[in-house]
């Protein structure tokens, strides 16, 4: 039974409220600018024919809001929350399940993952073969930035090193010129 | 003496004449479509503030034509041909010279390299730390595609694994929707 080529679209959450002493991390929301820029990135992804079968999202508010914008913008028809996409969690077992022979949905072609930094860029680096020690520094994923990973053939064996990076997009490429520096942090 | 952050903009040559039995590889020219798409990519790069201090280009005709379009489009003011960017050559010694303390031009900030596949994507993969055995499969650089590598700090020691990938762009992201498949090959 031939499986089709598969792709993962990694989408970092948009610009969120600053992390102040009094504010816990999990409930931080997207700012109005974050909502606006994220929505425009999602429109561009739809326009580039990068629609997905499903969005898997970190359960943290700023990620879930980003995933909900993806649904509202037509990037994908459904959303599932996945604790494995929360900060510091390990997403590899989740991906092994989705990319393996017992995938929850055997027919999927492209899956969107919404999450955080440095987790998402570390994941992308590992999947294309960067060793763990260097993976967190190998790629840069900006807020509302996008990476597209491809498996021209179904992965055999371990996932690290099995994928090819086809796209790495800071939002300004989709939105226009460089914007004033946004606050950093994941 | 502090050196500024440095970036390499890798630009694959545009769509070129097919490689027929009778046609040698070196003199293959860009097609009219290749000229048009490459020029539009270059305009987008200028618009994204990705202008360069210099273009270093493979001496093969299709690469040199791409580099000349970069000059004509205002991406860089000067062009040098570099045999180290020809197919199958090793560009690392050239880059060690440019990125090292005895750089031919100490003050440069961003250098464009125009060359071929799989050489350019292999180079990008090596620079972000993918081991040699996996590097040729780790990234995909389409014709007139672009990759941007950054050194937030000057590299210490060996170049492989010293850079960060900030951008990987197939031309269709800059030019619009997916175009009919172009012929493949470097």
All residues of chain B having their beta carbon less than 8 Å from the beta carbon of residue A129 are: 125, 130-131, 134-135, 137-138
- At B23 the pLDDT is 67
Provide the shortest C-alpha distance from residue A161 to chain B (in Å).
7
Three-state secondary structure call for residue A34: helix
In eight-state DSSP terms, residue A163 is -
Report d(CA A73, CA A50) in Å as an integer: 12
What pairs with residue A111 in β-bridges? A8, A54
Determine, for residues B128 and A140 on separate chains, whether the beta-carbon distance falls below 8 Å: no
Whether the pLDDT of residue B55 is over 50: the answer is: yes
Whether the pLDDT of residue B25 is over 70: the answer is: yes
CB of A180 within 8 A of CB of A49? no
Q: Which one is predicted more confidently, A155 or B96?
A: B96
B137 closest CB neighbour out of A131, A164, A173: A164
- At B68 the pLDDT is 98
All residues of chain B having their beta carbon less than 8 Å from the beta carbon of residue A181 are: none
Whether the pLDDT of residue B32 is over 70: the answer is: yes
Closest residue in B to A163 (Cα–Cα): B138
Output the CA–CA distances (angstroms, integers) from residue B19 to B63, B121, B139, B180, in the order listed.
15, 21, 24, 19
Determine, for residues A167 and B168 on separate chains, whether the beta-carbon distance falls below 8 Å: yes
Determine, for residues B165 and A140 on separate chains, whether the beta-carbon distance falls below 8 Å: yes
Order of strands, edge to edge, in the sheet holding B6-12? A79-81, A54-57, A110-115, A6-12, A146-151, A164-169, B164-169, B146-151, B6-12, B110-115, B54-57, B79-81
Closest residue in B to A162 (Cα–Cα): B138
Tokens coding A79: 């959303």
- At A23 the pLDDT is 67
What pairs with residue B57 in β-bridges? B81, B114
Give this complex's ipTM: 0.90
All residues of chain A having their beta carbon less than 8 Å from the beta carbon of residue B135 are: 129
- At A1 the pLDDT is 41
- At B107 the pLDDT is 87
Least confident segment among B21-30, B34-43, B112-121, B177-186: B177-186
For chain B, the first-to-last Cα distance in angstroms comes to 40
CB of B145 within 8 A of CB of B108? no
Whether the pLDDT of residue B98 is over 60: the answer is: yes
CB of B52 within 8 A of CB of B110? yes
B177 closest CB neighbour out of A48, A138, A150: A48
- At B164 the pLDDT is 97
Q: Residue written as tokens 């898997």?
A: A56
Report d(CA A130, CA A108) in Å as an integer: 26
Give one word for B51, left, alpha or beta, with left for phi > 0 and alpha for psi -120 to 50: beta
- At A18 the pLDDT is 86
Determine, for residues A168 and B173 on separate chains, whether the beta-carbon distance falls below 8 Å: no
Q: Which one is predicted more confidently, B67 or B105?
A: B67
CB of B93 within 8 A of CB of B84? yes
Give me chain B's average pLDDT, please: 90
Provide the shortest C-alpha distance from residue B18 to chain A (in Å).
24
- At B152 the pLDDT is 83
Report residue B185's pLDDT band, with 50, 70 and 90 as the boundaries.
Answer: very low
Report d(CA B146, CA B45) in Å as an integer: 9
- At A177 the pLDDT is 52
Whether the pLDDT of residue B180 is over 50: the answer is: no
A166 closest CB neighbour out of B134, B161, B170: B170
Report residue B181's pLDDT band, with 50, 70 and 90 as the boundaries.
Answer: very low
Mutation for A interface: B134, B138, B147, most A CBs within 10 A: B138
Report d(CA A169, CA A145) in Å as an integer: 6
Whether the pLDDT of residue B183 is over 60: the answer is: no
Provide the shortest C-alpha distance from residue A127 to chain B (in Å).
9
Average pLDDT estimate for B163-178: 88
Mutation for A interface: B9, B44, B130, B171, most A CBs within 10 A: B130
- At A138 the pLDDT is 97
Mutation for B interface: A128, A147, A169, A176, most B CBs within 10 A: A128
Cα angle, residue A150 at apex, residues A160 and B160 outer, rounded to 5°: 55
Determine, for residues B134 and A128 on separate chains, whether the beta-carbon distance falls below 8 Å: yes
B110-115 and B6-12 beta bridge pairing: parallel
The secondary structure of chain B as a DSSP string is -PPPPEEEEEEE---B----TTS-STTPPBPHHHHHHHHHHHHHHHHTT---SEEEE-SSHHHHHHHHHHHHTTS-S-EEE-GGGSTT---HHHHHHHHSTT-SSTT--EEEEEE-TTHHHHHHHHHTT--TTTHHHHB---TT-EEEEEESS---S-STT--EEEEEE-HHHHH-SPPSPPP---
Handedness of CA A127, A129, A130, A131 (dihedral sign): positive
CB of A171 within 8 A of CB of A31? no
Q: Rg of chain B over CA atoms, in angstroms? A: 16
Q: Rg of chain A over CA atoms, in angstroms? A: 16
Question: How much is the pTM?
Answer: 0.91
* Residuewise pLDDT in 10s, chain A (186 residues): 445 689 999 999 999 988 776 668 888 899 999 999 999 999 999 999 999 999 999 999 999 999 999 999 999 999 999 999 999 999 999 999 999 888 998 889 999 999 999 999 999 999 999 999 999 999 999 999 999 999 988 888 899 999 999 999 999 998 875 444 433 444
Three-state secondary structure call for residue A103: coil
In eight-state DSSP terms, residue A76 is -
Q: Residue written as tokens 């990759």?
A: B147
């Amino acid at each position: 039974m031939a499986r089709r080529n598969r792709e993962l679209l990694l989408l970092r959450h948009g610009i969120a409220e600053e992390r102040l002493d009094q504010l816990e991390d999990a409930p931080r929301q997207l700012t109005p600018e974050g909502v606006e820029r994220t929505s425009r990135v999602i429109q561009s992804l739809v326009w580039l024919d990068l629609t997905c079968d499903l969005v898997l999202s970190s359960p943290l508010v700023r990620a879930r809001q980003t995933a909900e914008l993806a649904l509202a913008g037509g990037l994908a028809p459904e959303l599932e929350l996945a604790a494995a996409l929360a900060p510091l969690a390990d997403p590899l077992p989740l991906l092994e399940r989705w990319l393996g022979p017992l995938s929850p949905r055997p027919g999927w072609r492209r899956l969107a993952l919404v999450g955080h930094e440095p987790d998402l860029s570390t994941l992308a680096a590992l999947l294309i073969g960067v060793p763990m020690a260097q993976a967190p520094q190998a790629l840069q994923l900006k807020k509302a930035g996008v990476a597209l990973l491809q498996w021209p053939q179904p992965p055999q064996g371990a996932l690290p090193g099995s994928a090819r990076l086809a796209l790495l997009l800071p939002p300004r490429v989709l939105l226009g010129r460089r914007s004033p520096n946004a606050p950093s942090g994941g």
